[in-house]
Amino acid sequence: MEENTLESNSSLNDFQYIFYGKVHPERAGAGFYQPVKHLIHIPYLDMSGTLEINIICSQISAILSVSKPVEDIWMIKSSIELLIKQQVDVLGYCLGCGYNIEIIGSLNPSNIYESVVFGVGVPVLEAESKRRMQKSEGMLFLLNTDIGWYLRLCLNDLREAIRSPKDMGFFCYRGIESLKQYFQIEKEIPNDKRAWEVLRSELSIEKKDIDFIKGFADHVRHGGLQEIYPDDGSKILTTTWGIVDNFIEYGLDRYKPLNEEQKDNR
């Protein structure tokens, strides 16, 4: 998404959508003295327009004005969230405070039936939630074993991958790197290359899957930019969760190498 600050709204933007949410912790009463207006362009949706952000007493309202109807409000939500988060990060830097934001829903003033309350999950991951919940008790056990430190770091990053879609490649790859550290440190493997080889062998993971995720992390890891389109984002998340599934199964099976049959029947 590309954006620039504007002095006034464009008169060409005929369709409006209101996004609302909160700055956390809400008790901090974060806010700006006046609205901030942006010109935005979202290439993968072929959409341009303006966004006016207003934050008062930790309450967020943002008016999106565009020249054509939004077909999928969920796809545009992450772009809106990123702009608001950037604005709040400026405030946090200036005040020395750690803020986060939550975009709760959106309203279409011209059509109340298009109002949406956003969930906190990712549909492609939620599809497997029932199966994964069956492992939750075992995961809690693993957190208190030798594997626990590495799994905890990994889960921290996976949480941030969901919360920060723009940077999901960075967080997913770093989460997988935490699992690699388990093999390198606990098995006293002298170098990274060999540790990655052992991880792939023990967990029955293909190198191309890890390389795919790494491709969306390298530029960000070194301060660069990396655009992630929705289809790639879904693949990054499902591939990462599959790798972590295997690591959890590996731990629950007392560190026995996985074979293809175990991988398919998780």
Q: What's the pTM?
A: 0.84
Residues across the chain:
266
State the burial class of residue 180 (Cβ atoms within 10 Å of its Cβ: 0-12, 13-18, 19+): buried
Helix (H) or strand (E) holding 2: strand 2-5
pLDDT at 239 over 80: yes
Looking at per-residue pLDDT, the higher value among 5 and 172 belongs to 172
Eight-class DSSP state of 136: H
Q: What's the pLDDT band for 232 if we cut at 50, 70, 90?
A: very high
Q: Which residue has the higher pLDDT, 155 or 109?
A: 155
* pLDDT tens-digit readout, 173-227: 999 999 999 999 999 999 999 999 999 999 999 999 999 999 999 988 888 777 8
**Chain segment 92-116, per-residue pLDDT in tens:** 999 999 999 999 999 998 888 889 9
pLDDT at 13: 62
pLDDT at 5 over 60: no
At residue 104, φ and ψ (nearest 5 deg) are: -85, -40
DSSP state of 256: P
How confident is the model over 70-84, as a mean pLDDT? 88
Tell me the average pLDDT across 25-37. 93
**Mean pLDDT in the chain?**
89
Span 49-73, mean pLDDT?
93
CB 68 within 8 Å of CB 15: yes
Extract the tokens encoding 201. 């062998």
Pick 194 or 73 by higher pLDDT.
194
Q: What is the pLDDT of residue 248?
A: 97
DSSP category for residue 203: H
